[in-house]
Amino acid sequence: MTRMVNCVLLKKEAEGLDRPTYPGELGKRIFDNVSKEAWQDWVRHQTMLINEYRLSPIDPKARKFLEEEMEKFFFGEGSKVDNWTPPSE
């Protein structure tokens, strides 16, 4: 049976993650409140952040920055890249 969550990002009930994707308390909040679809949105956004800011995922400062942006993306005011506008559809 599919696990459903009330997704904080999509603002609707959606299919939940199969397993925790991040450690710690933040990972538990994500597992309990974020859908698969929203997690994929974050993965795309994280890739953009890594590329735009030329981050190295093994750098502790970059990891801390990405964690802060992840928390803002799901539970805060949203994560943004300075001077970047998404392409219009």
Instruction: Write down the residue that tokens 């506008």 correspond to.
Output: 85
The 10s digit of each residue's pLDDT in 22-71 is 999 999 999 999 999 999 999 999 999 999 999 998 999 999 999 999 99
Q: Which domains does the chain have, with CATH numbers?
A: 4-75 (1.10.3880.10)
Both tokens assigned to 27: 């990972």
Rg (CA), the chain: 14
Closest C-alpha to 48, from 79, 19, 75, 17: 79
Full-model pTM = 0.86
Helix (H, G, I), strand (E, B) or coil at 6: strand
